């Protein structure tokens, strides 16, 4: 554990609390892509299958994994059951099969072993790197977003960005080389946030509304 | 090639 990773994980935690806060205070999931949230459940469940082996890394690790799985499923419940009428599927039109298929193929080509833990792990790494796309696509379509929604996406972007210095730090302080799968997917994932991040920094953080140029 | 233990990350 190092500073960047801890800060990244805390940022990830913060993003979930921001999302829950947004849904509960506005009593609405307007502006949130249900498809992205489904993808996150798939990501967490496929990545944390090692929970079933009971080979613990640390209490921190296990508690966080359980929290990410639990909270992501809870968010689906909020969107599909509790605040269902506020969820508008007609603007959430990204075809996620175009993400799931290629990620499945990639995980069969690039993995650390053909086992029931490694292939889903690899799949989850690839899928996470593109899981935000339906959300960004929705933002693109509506052309604007509630400020709190942009804080949620920004916190997710910060989490991914912070994992990069974490890997650089680990490369120099540990003796295990580079995890090419996580690093390449992580860089791709972070790059997807660049456009959004630019508008977030230049508009939202200056007190303006998040609006895309027409 | 070293196989890094990245599985300790979230």
B10/A9 touch (CB, cutoff 8 Å), yes or no: yes
**Complex ipTM > 0.90:** no
pLDDT for residue B8: 87
Please tell me the distance in Å from A176's CA to the nearest CA on chain B.
5
Q: Whole-number mean pLDDT of chain A?
A: 95
A121/B contact by beta carbon, under 8 A: yes
Chain B residues in contact with A178 by the CB 8 A cut-off are 4
Please tell me the distance in Å from B6's CA to the nearest CA on chain A.
7
**CA pair distance A104, A89, nearest whole angstrom:** 25
**CA pair distance A159, A147, nearest whole angstrom:** 18
Evaluate whether A80 touches A34 at the Cβ level (below 8 Å): yes
pLDDT for residue B1: 39
pLDDT in tens, A181-208: 999 999 999 999 999 999 999 999 999 9
pLDDT for residue A42: 98
Angle at A149 between CA A146 and CA A150, to 5 degrees: 90
The domain segmentation of chain A, as residue ranges, is 3-211
Angle at A16 between CA A15 and CA A18, to 5 degrees: 65
Q: What percentage of chain A has pLDDT greater than the value 70? A: 100
pLDDT for residue A213: 82
């Amino acid at each position: 554990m190092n500073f960047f990773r801890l800060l990244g994980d805390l940022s990830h935690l913060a993003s979930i609390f921001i999302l829950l806060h947004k849904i509960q205070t506005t009593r609405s999931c307007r502006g949130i892509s249900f498809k992205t949230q489904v993808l996150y459940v798939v990501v967490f469940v496929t990545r944390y299958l090692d929970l079933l082996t009971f080979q613990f890394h640390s209490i921190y690790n296990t508690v966080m994994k359980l929290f990410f799985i639990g909270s992501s499923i809870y968010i689906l419940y909020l969107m599909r059951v509790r605040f269902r009428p506020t969820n508008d599927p007609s603007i959430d039109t990204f075809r996620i099969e175009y993400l799931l298929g290629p990620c499945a193929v990639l995980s069969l080509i690039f993995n650390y072993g053909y086992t029931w833990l490694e292939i889903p792990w690899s799949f989850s790494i690839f899928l996470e790197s593109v899981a935000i796309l339906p959300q960004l696509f929705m933002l693109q379509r509506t052309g604007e977003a509630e400020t709190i929604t942009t804080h949620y996406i920004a916190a997710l972007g910060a989490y991914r960005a912070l994992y990069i210095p974490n890997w650089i730090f680990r490369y120099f302080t540990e003796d295990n080389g580079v995890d090419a799968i996580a690093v390449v997917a992580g860089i791709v994932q972070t790059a997807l946030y660049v456009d959004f991040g630019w508008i977030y920094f230049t508009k939202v953080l200056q007190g303006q509304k998040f609006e895309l140029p027409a | 090639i070293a196989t890094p233990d990245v599985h300790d990350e979230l």
